[in-house]
A and B are shown apart, each in its own frame.
Chain A
Amino acid sequence: MEVLEIVKGLISEQLDIDEEQLEMKTTFEDIDADSLDVVELVMALEEEFNLEIADEEVEKIKTIGDIVSYIEKQIA
């Protein structure tokens, strides 16, 4: 499965949102994700892709596209 599809699946499960509403340019604000939702999403991503996302990296992530490109870089 493509990284984008996996990320969409995780977000949709975490925040109970329809996957169809999620696009590369969707921001955390667009989907009403609070700071703890972001922490929980980071944990889910770390578990799914078996990697660690540092705090400084999390601060740079604003959109779903940012998540996807970060992860693709890490697992490449």
Chain B
Amino acid sequence: MIAGKKAGIVSTGRALPVVRLTNFDLEHMVETSDEWITTRSGIKERRIISGDETNSGLSEIAARIALEKAGLKPEEIDILIVATVTADQLLPSSACLVQAKLNAHRAAAFDLAAGCTGFLYGLTVGQQFIETGAAKNILLIGVDTLSPIVDWTDRNTCVLFGDGAGAVVLQRVEEGRGILASKMYSDGTKAELLDIPAGGSKRPTTVRTLEERAHYIRMNGPEIFKFAVKIMVESTTNVLELCGKKPADLDFIVPHQANVRIINAACKRLGLSDSQVLVNIQRYGNMSSATIPVVLDEALEEGKIKQGDLLTLVSFGAGLTWGAAVLNW
């Protein structure tokens, strides 16, 4: 293969925890019902880490699959990016723990925190190193293990999230393929819409923060919903315009899987049909940075995405952050 200058995703892998938590299981934990969760989110079940499953452990499994498919050895990785907000520990980064597990000793390893947009931020960051020639092989992992930090007494949030990891290898690809356009966006003035107030350096863990349940995710659902629909439409249209395309040209949109109602509302405004939208939220819930690489990996395995397909990946999350990218597969 003669490599062009563009960066592209050359392989994918995924890892999901063993334990499935269904809506019926949740009915025994909080005041909710399968019908309530399904109609408001599209989620039927999610995976939850247990035993010795960890953020870095799921990352390692997903990474080994992606590396094998790309025919790469761990020591050939130049940069290892882990997009996550739920590293095993506060220090060091999850990326360094994954590096040790893989023995990717040549890699520069770092975490990238952009909420649920982490994978798309990582994709754009990685793209720059590949296109400048500063790196040849990048391993990008989107992983989040949110189950330990959701408030299992808050029925408005705990039903929405799940754990998982997806990995991709980025390299230069043939001319005309790969990432055609990508954009990252942030609006820090809306930070309070989705946050974890304590546990950082401003409010370290104390008896009081524990009593206030300030170590769990807090979310303003309706505001996030409106924001998400709006930016999905805007950023998808914008990145497509950058490469002279429109939504109708898309083979698939690969949206962040936060809520099927957000996906449907945005896709309706973009004029996309159901067959153009990749969705797996019913099985996994919102896995934060892992949603897009996992849904991509599954769609490739099922043979849905084919070489030459035009895709837009689009995501949004805490920060607020959002991002979109156009790929010619």
Contact = CB atoms under 8 A, between A and B. Distances in A.
A-B complex is real: yes
Interface of A: 34-36, 39-40, 42-43, 55, 58
Interface in B200-225: 221-223, 225
A36 B223 contact: no
B40 A39 contact: no
A52 B193 CA distance: 18
Interface string B7-41: 00000000000000000000000000000000110
Contact of A34 (B39, B229, B230): B39
B246 interface: no
> Residue among A36, A42, A43 with the most chain B CB within 10 A?
A36
Contacts of A39: 222, 225-226
Minimum-distance CB pairs A-B, first 10: A39-B222, A39-B225, A36-B261, A36-B40, A43-B226, A40-B265, A39-B226, A34-B40, A43-B229, A36-B225
Nearest to A37: B261
B222 A55 contact: yes
Interface in B99-133: none
Contacts of B261: 36, 40
B229 A55 contact: no
A55 B261 CA distance: 20
Given A36-B225, A39-B222, A43-B230, 13 more contacts: A34-B39, A34-B40, A35-B40, A35-B221, A36-B261, A39-B226, A40-B225, A40-B261, A43-B226, A43-B229, A43-B265, A55-B222, A55-B223
A35 B230 CA distance: 18
> Residue among A34, A40, A42 with the most chain B CB within 10 A?
A40
A71 B58 CA distance: 51
Interface of B: 39-40, 221-223, 225-226, 229-230, 261, 265
Chain B interface, >50% SS class: helix
Contacts of A36: 40, 222, 225, 261
A42 B226 CA distance: 9
Chain A interface, >50% SS class: helix
Contacts of A42: 226
B227 to A, nearest CB: 10
A42 B225 CA distance: 11
A30 to B, nearest CB: 18
A43 B225 CA distance: 10
A35 B222 contact: yes
A68 to B, nearest CB: 21
Contacts of A43: 226, 229-230, 265
A17 to B, nearest CB: 16
22 contacts: A34-B39, A34-B40, A35-B40, A35-B221, A35-B222, A36-B40, A36-B222, A36-B225, A36-B261, A39-B222, A39-B225, A39-B226, A40-B225, A40-B261, A40-B265, A42-B226, A43-B226, A43-B229, A43-B230, A43-B265, A55-B222, A58-B222
A45 B130 CA distance: 45
A55 B222 CA distance: 9
A7 to B, nearest CB: 18
Nearest to B220: A55
A17 B66 CA distance: 48
Nearest to A47: B269
A45 to B, nearest CB: 12
Contacts of A55: 222-223
A34 to B, nearest CB: 6
A1 B128 CA distance: 52
A36 B259 CA distance: 11
A34 B35 CA distance: 12
Nearest to A44: B265
> Residue among A39, A43, A58 with the most chain B CB within 10 A?
A39
B105 to A, nearest CB: 48
